Amino acid sequence: MRRLEGKVAVITGAASGMGRGTAIRFAGEGASIVIADLNQEGGESVVRECKENGGNAVFHKTDVASEESIKAAIDRAVNEFGRLDITFNNAGIGGALGPLEDITVADWDRTFAILLRSVFLGIKHSVPPMRKGGGGSIISTASVAGLRGGAGPLVYSVAKAGVVHLTKCAAIDYGRERIRVNAICPGGINTPLVSGLMPGGEAAAAQLMKNLQPIPRAGGPDDIAGMALYLASDDSEWVTGTTMVVDGGLMAGRHLFGGDQSAFDNKLEWSGPSFEFRKK
């Protein structure tokens, strides 16, 4: 039996990387999905892949920094498919890079808007339709960088720590209504958001990342999709308020990049979506 048969999901940042991998996986498990992303071309491509994998999907152009846009994506799920069972707050950026003293207030605020405020908004607007349907699963992408200092860019790390704590607090608030709230903390996952920062692209990123953790390979979107599937399905019915670390053993005792971000950010001051980088 397909584990998400009849369920409806909204996935932000689903046009590429972890969101794309999760959308395709959910589709194969029977879900109907709203692909919520700014990247229309990529999003429409994922819709086709979801349908080819046995599910149903629609694309909804979504700016996760906008409350109106996130609410519209969730409303689209209810209007298109009749309910909402799963929200995956996954959209992300690298955000402001470089020494703290050089980071502008505008870049700090935008980083938090996309990485943390969007999760607040995704939870806020998912609760009413999930309550009406008798419960649901809200999943958010955090990071190992939100669990330990020195494991990622500074502002990104602080925002991801906020996602971890927001997850716990929201889980307490909504557990009685059978709305579960969990987070996934990826380690070194080779996605366009990462490989786009590096000369040599995906292959170079895979080479750099393969020895960062005990399992000697870079993580991939399918590794995150597997955990997201577990948290979205009824298999995790009694799991809420958790941060599920998916990192190949990295957090067992080794530091991401050895605490050195220079391979990624020494020529950049901003890492946006996978198609937006700003050089110094």
The predicted-structure confidence for 49-63, as pLDDT tens digits, reads as follows: 999 999 999 999 999
CA atoms within 13 A on the CB side of 9: 42
DSSP state of 267: T
Could you tell me the pLDDT band of residue 5, with boundaries at 50, 70 and 90?
very high
Cα separation, 95 vs 280, in Å, equals 13
Higher pLDDT, 187 or 107: 107
Q: What is the mean pLDDT of residues 260-273?
A: 55
Question: Could you tell me which of 181, 172, 147, 171 has the C-alpha nearest to residue 161?
Answer: 147
pLDDT at 188: 82
Residue 156 annotated to the active site: yes
Burial class (CB in 10 A: 0-12, 13-18, 19+), 255: middle
Could you tell me the pLDDT band of residue 31, with boundaries at 50, 70 and 90?
very high
The answer, yes or no, to whether residue 270 has pLDDT greater than 80, is no
How many other CB atoms are found less than 10 A from the CB of residue 189? Answer: 24
Q: What is the mean pLDDT of residues 7-29?
A: 97
Using an 8 Å Cβ cutoff, are 120 and 70 in contact? no
pLDDT at 181: 98
pLDDT tens digits, 202-248: 677 777 777 788 888 888 899 999 999 999 999 999 999 999 999 88
Burial class (CB in 10 A: 0-12, 13-18, 19+), 106: exposed
pLDDT at 276: 59
Residue range 8-273, CATH number? 3.40.50.720
pTM, rounded to two decimals: 0.89
pLDDT at 259: 40
Given 26, 156, 174, 277, the catalytic residue? 156
CA dihedral 106, 110, 113, 115 (to 10 degrees): -140
